Structures are given as structure tokens and as C-alpha cells.
């Protein structure tokens, strides 16, 4: 029993090792793939999906889903670019962008909890709404600005001498905070309770409507933060960026062991899931595989991960 639960916890880790191992097999790739410089690149590439996966973990654990993340990231990056254009200081831009993300989350959460509609439908709707709004806001073109300290967050050039790009540190701190919140706060445990059995949570006096709205608001904040990272990476606000990124983020959370039916999921798992996605992309590029082949591989990995998880669950039952 104990070895099995240990194995279940290590599952995503083993997956990560397996993927790294596979790309290290061909000698001509290994030489570059297994270098510190490349891992720094992978970590940087992970940041956006990882921060998005933090928010998505909260939502999926509560039994919900959010399909509008890609649009939210584009929207918040456009907002950030416009504010920089208008000469806002970096700190104010950061706050405003996170607030914009939370605003979209508030919209989603209020519609889902208040109108009692399915998250899938609501966020499928906001996927379009928010994407359209970002194009409108950006006048249907990229928003350029001269320079901003935010640009340096996602470079591997290491301007601060922190060995990793600032974005990675932000993601790490955010992950620690989220893990702590999920485990140690009443709000965090209520997220699990709602995902596990919402009717019970309600009759036990858990404020389900308020909690659900708050889940989407907090998650929206993370999506705003991810939008900021997107902005820093592109150095411009692009309303057409991150199309389909929600699927990568959902996949990371699911590969990390969360259940789409709610009640199960960990921050650590989701972070490893995000890393697996990044390693797959990076490794495929090193191997010189065309992008269509990467897409197929990632699709297969998602299905395999969920299938293995089901086997694990069946054994545990």
C-alpha cells in the first residue's frame, strides 16, 4: 500500500525522467540537450505554461475547467504593452495586468457559480469574447513599446546574476505559495471539498458560490501573471499570441496527476507536467523533428499519461 502510494506520487517524476532519458539516447543530441544552458532554456520555456498551470490546478481540482486561458494571456499581454506605452511604471503595470487577469476570472467565476452554468460552456464563450476584446484593444495589430524592465524577466542572459531568469523565480515562488494555500488554508481545502463532492460541501456549510468565484479570480490572477511573462518574452503585446495554449496548460495539469472530475491534483504534479511539456518541445527541436511531429508526440503523451493514471487508480481502488 505504502509503496504503491509512493509510486503514485512519483509517477509524474518518473515520466519526466523517462522523457529526459529518451532525448539523451542519441549521442549527437545528448551533447547539447544535457547541458546546463539548455536546461536554463527549458526552464524559461516552461514559465508561461507553469504559471498558467497553477491557476488551472485550482480550477481542475475544484471540478471546473477554463478554456479561455490562451485568450486571457493574449489580453493581459496587450493590456501590459499598452500601459507601458502610456508610461506606467513597471510595478503598476504588473499590478494592473494581474488585476486584468483576475477581472476575466471574476467574469468566468460569476457566470459559472452565479448562473450555475457549466464551466466548459462559459469559458468556451469567453475564449472567443476575450480574444476578440484583445484584438479590439490592440487595434488588431501588435502593440510595441520602446523598453521596459519587464523585458528582462524572460531572458536567459541573466542580467540580475540570479543564474535563472527572473520569470523562473517568480514561477517557483508562486508555486510554493499555491501549494501552501491548497494545503494549509481553509480556502484551499474547500477547493478540494467542492471538487470531491459539491453537494456535500454545500450542505456542510461551505460557501460554494463565493469559493468558486474566488477560485476563478485567483486563477485569473495567475493567468494575468502568465500574460506578463508572455509580454516579457515577446517584448510586445500581441493579441494573436497563445492560441491553443489552454490545451498545453490543461495537459500539464492532467499529466501531473489531477483528475478532470475534480478532487485530485497537486501543485508539484502540475509543475512537473509543465516541465514534461517543455522538455518534449525542446527535445523534439533538438532532434530536428518537424513541428507537426511534435504535435503528434505531445498528443500521444497526454493520452498515455491519463491512461497510466487510470491504471494506477484502478489498482488503488
Partner 1 sequence: MSPRLRLTGICKSFGATQALRGVSLEVGVGEVHALVGENGAGKSTLMNILSGALPPDAGTLELDGAPYAPRDTLDARHCGVAMIHQELSLAPHLSVWENIVLGDEPSRGGWLRRTEAKARARKALARLGHEHLDLERRAGSFPIAEQQIIEIARALRTEPSVLIMDEPTSSLAQADTERLFGVIRQLRERGVSIVYISHFLEEVERVADRYTVLKDGQSVGTGTMKGTPQSQLIRLMVGRDVTALYPPRVSSAGAIVLEVSGLSAGRRLKRAGFTLAAGEILGVAGLIGAGRTELVRAVFGLDESADGGVTLAGRSFPNRQPRGSWRNGVGFLSEDRKEEGLMLPLSVAENTVLTKLGSFGRFGWLRRRDIAAAGATWIERLGVKASGPGQPVRELSGGNQQKVALARLLEHPARIFLLDEPTRGIDVGSKAQIYELIAGLAREGRAVVLVSSYLPELFGMCHRIAVMRRGELVDCRSNADWTESSLMTAAVGAAA
269: Cβ–Cβ under 8 A, 6 or more apart, which residues? 12, 253, 255, 256, 257, 258
Which stretch in 162-170, 202-210, 214-222, 243-251 sits in contact with partner 1 by CB under 8 A?
202-210
Helices 208-234, 166-184: inter-axial angle, 10-degree rounding: 170
Q: Work out the burial of residue 98: count CB atoms within 10 Å of its CB; fewer than 13 is exposed, 13-18 middle, 19 or more buried.
A: buried
Min. distance of Cβ 272 from partner 1 in angstroms?
20
304 binds partner 1 (CB under 8 A): no
Closest CA to 103 of 216, 211, 7: 216
Residue 8 within binding range of partner 1, rule CB under 8 A: no
* Comparison of 40 and 189: residue with beta carbon closer to partner 1: 189
Q: Is 251 in the site for partner 1 (CB under 8 A)?
A: no
Length of the chain: 317
Q: Which is nearer to partner 1, 218 or 275 (CB)?
A: 218
Please report, as residue ranges, which positions from 179 to 198 form the binding site for partner 1 (by CB under 8 A): 184-189, 192-193, 195-197
Based on the shown chain and the rule CB under 8 A, indicate whether residue 144 belongs to the binding site for partner 1. Answer: no
**Taking CB under 8 A as the rule, does residue 99 contact partner 1?**
no
- Rounded to a whole number of angstroms, the minimum distance from the CB of residue 269 to partner 1 is 14
Burial of 122 (0-12, 13-18, 19+ CB in 10 A): buried
Q: Is 39 in the site for partner 1 (CB under 8 A)?
A: no
Determine if 201 is a binding residue for partner 1 (CB under 8 A).
Answer: yes
Q: Report the Cα–Cα distance between both ends of the chain, in Å, rounded.
A: 11
In whole angstroms, what is the distance from residue 59 CA to residue 48 CA? 17
Question: Is 247 or 268 the residue whose CB approaches partner 1 more closely?
Answer: 268
Are 95 and 135 spatial neighbours (Cβ–Cβ below 8 Å)? no
x-or-dash string of contact with partner 1, 254-283, rule CB under 8 A: ---------xx-------------------
Residue closer to partner 1 (CB basis): 56 or 150 = 56
Q: Which is nearer to partner 1, 115 or 199 (CB)?
A: 199
- Single out the residue of 161, 205, 244, 288 in contact with partner 1 (rule: CB under 8 A): 205
> What are all long-range contacts of 121-130, with beta carbons under 8 Å and residues at least 24 apart?
123/65, 123/66, 123/67, 123/68, 124/67, 124/68, 126/67, 126/68, 126/71, 127/67, 127/68, 127/70, 127/71, 127/246, 128/71, 129/68, 129/71, 130/68, 130/71, 130/72, 130/74, 130/75, 130/104
Is residue 200 close enough to count as binding partner 1 by CB under 8 A? yes
Name the residue nearer to partner 1 (CB basis): 208 or 282.
Answer: 208
Pick between residue 103 and residue 265 the one whose CB is nearest to partner 1.
265
199 binds partner 1 (CB under 8 A): yes
**Site size for partner 1, by CB under 8 A?**
20
Query: Which residues are at the interface with partner 1 (CB under 8 A)?
Result: 184-189, 192-193, 195-197, 199-201, 203-206, 263-264
Amino acid at each position: 500500500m505504502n509503496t504503491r502510494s509512493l509510486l503514485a506520487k512519483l509517477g509524474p517524476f518518473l515520466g519526466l525522467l523517462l522523457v529526459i532519458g529518451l532525448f539523451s539516447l542519441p549521442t549527437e543530441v545528448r551533447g547539447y540537450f544535457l547541458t546546463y544552458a539548455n536546461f536554463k532554456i527549458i526552464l524559461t520555456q516552461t514559465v508561461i505554461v507553469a504559471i498558467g498551470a497553477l491557476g488551472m490546478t485550482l480550477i481542475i481540482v475544484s471540478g471546473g475547467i477554463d478554456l479561455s486561458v490562451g485568450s486571457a494571456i493574449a489580453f493581459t499581454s496587450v493590456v501590459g504593452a499598452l500601459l507601458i506605452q502610456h508610461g506606467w511604471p513597471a510595478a503598476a503595470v504588473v499590478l494592473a495586468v494581474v488585476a486584468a487577469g483576475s477581472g476575466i476570472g471574476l467574469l468566468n467565476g460569476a457566470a459559472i457559480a452565479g448562473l450555475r452554468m457549466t464551466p466548459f460552456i462559459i469559458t468556451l464563450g469567453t475564449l472567443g469574447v476575450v480574444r476578440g476584446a484583445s484584438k479590439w484593444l490592440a487595434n488588431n495589430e501588435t502593440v510595441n513599446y520602446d523598453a521596459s524592465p519587464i523585458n528582462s524577466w524572460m531572458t536567459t542572459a541573466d542580467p540580475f546574476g540570479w543564474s535563472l531568469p527572473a520569470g523562473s523565480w517568480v514561477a517557483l515562488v508562486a508555486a510554493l505559495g499555491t501549494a501552501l494555500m491548497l494545503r494549509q488554508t481553509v480556502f484551499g481545502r474547500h477547493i478540494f471539498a467542492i471538487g470531491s463532492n459539491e453537494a456535500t460541501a454545500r450542505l456542510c456549510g461551505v460557501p460554494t458560490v463565493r469559493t468558486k468565484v474566488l477560485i476563478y479570480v485567483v486563477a485569473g490572477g495567475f493567468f494575468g501573471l502568465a500574460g506578463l511573462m508572455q509580454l516579457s518574452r515577446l517584448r510586445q503585446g500581441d493579441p494573436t499570441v497563445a492560441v491553443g495554449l489552454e490545451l498545453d496548460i490543461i495537459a500539464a495539469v492532467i499529466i501531473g496527476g489531477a483528475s478532470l472530475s475534480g478532487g485530485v491534483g497537486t501543485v508539484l504534479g502540475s509543475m512537473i507536467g509543465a516541465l514534461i511539456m517543455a522538455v518534449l518541445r525542446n527535445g523534439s527541436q533538438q532532434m530536428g523533428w518537424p513541428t507537426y511531429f511534435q504535435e503528434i508526440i505531445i498528443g500521444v503523451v497526454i493520452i498515455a499519461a491519463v491512461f497510466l493514471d487510470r491504471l494506477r487508480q484502478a489498482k488503488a481502488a
